[in-house]
Structure 1
Amino acid sequence: MNKERFYEKLNDYKRASTRLNEATKIQLEADIVYDGVIQRFEFTFELSWKLMKMFLEYMGITEIKSPRATIREAFTYGLIEDGEQWIDMMIDRTKTSHLYDEKEAKLIYEKVKSQYSYLLSNLYDKLEEEITKIN
């Protein structure tokens, strides 16, 4: 892993995570807010698992092929605290790609607002802490 590239990705992730947190604080006046939060969630989740994978590969864990495997390894390594919530988040992320049910979208929105944005923000803090240890 190129450290400059990692820092670039980490900064991209921080911006995405911050924007997701901002979006969850907007008062719901229109369905477009749900759509926007879910879209930001999708983007941030994708960055999160790819960033975890990049970090773990740098640390010598190279046999990671999927988001689920990345989450498992990140939990084992200690990058994330609640592996089951991350797996739930991954499942909900997958659902959002094929989401046509308004009730389901609102349920995922509530999870993003109450749980997932917190988990995603914590990942940034943990990665920043870990990369500082390496330097």
Structure 2
Amino acid sequence: MDAIKNGKIQKFEYCAELAWKTAKIYLEIKTGNMAMSPKAVYKSLFLNGLIDEGHYKLLFATVEDRNKLSHIYKEEMYDDVYKNLKTHLTALQNLVNVFNRP
């Protein structure tokens, strides 16, 4: 794997972790809900009407790809995740927009 591709994937992993942990705090402040995992946090955001179903599915896919990178060390997995980085970026940027709502 080349250095640029590896760097982008590492940045994705870092951003995905930061996003769900920030969403966890946001959810606690907004709703009092204390979800403990990335999937539970995003599901709670959806169930509380803070994100729509489409956004929930995109964030769920982000978690799935992040988990693939954490548990499977095959070049093909990296290639699959790498192809999804633009979609994941959009999902995470939209999450930031949720945090910025009044």
TM-score by structure 1 length?
0.67
Equivalent residue, structure 2, for 1:104 = 77
Question: Counterparts of 1:79 and 1:37 in 2: how far apart (Å)?
Answer: 29
Aligned residues: 100
Query: 1:116 is matched by which residue type in structure 2?
Result: H
Q: Distance in 1 between matches of 2:35 and 2:98?
A: 20
- Quick one: which of 82, 91, 94 aligns to 1:119? 91
Structure 2 counterpart SS, 1:64: coil
Counterpart position of 1:18 = none
- In structure 2, how many angstroms separate the alpha carbons of the residues matched to 1:122 and 1:60? 19
**Deviation at residue 63 of structure 1 after TM alignment:** 3.1
2: CA distance, partners of 1:35 / 1:52: 26
Q: Which residue matches 2:15?
A: 44
RMSD: 1.6
Aligned mates of 2:49, 2:67 — CA distance in 1: 24
Runs of 4+ off more than 6 Å: none
Q: Which runs of 5+ in 2 are unaligned?
A: none
Q: Which has the larger radius of gyration?
A: 1
Q: Summarize deviations over 1:59-92 as a string: whole Å, max 9, x none.
A: 2333311111101011223443321221121011
68, 71, 76: which is aligned to 2:42?
Answer: 71
Contact 2:59–2:92 (Cα < 8 Å) also in 1: no
Gap regions ≥5 residues in structure 1? 1-29
Aligned-partner SS, 1:52: helix
Q: CA–CA distance in 1 between the matches of 2:11 and 2:33?
A: 28
Secondary structure of 1:122's counterpart equals helix
Distance 1:78 1:38, change over 3 A: farther
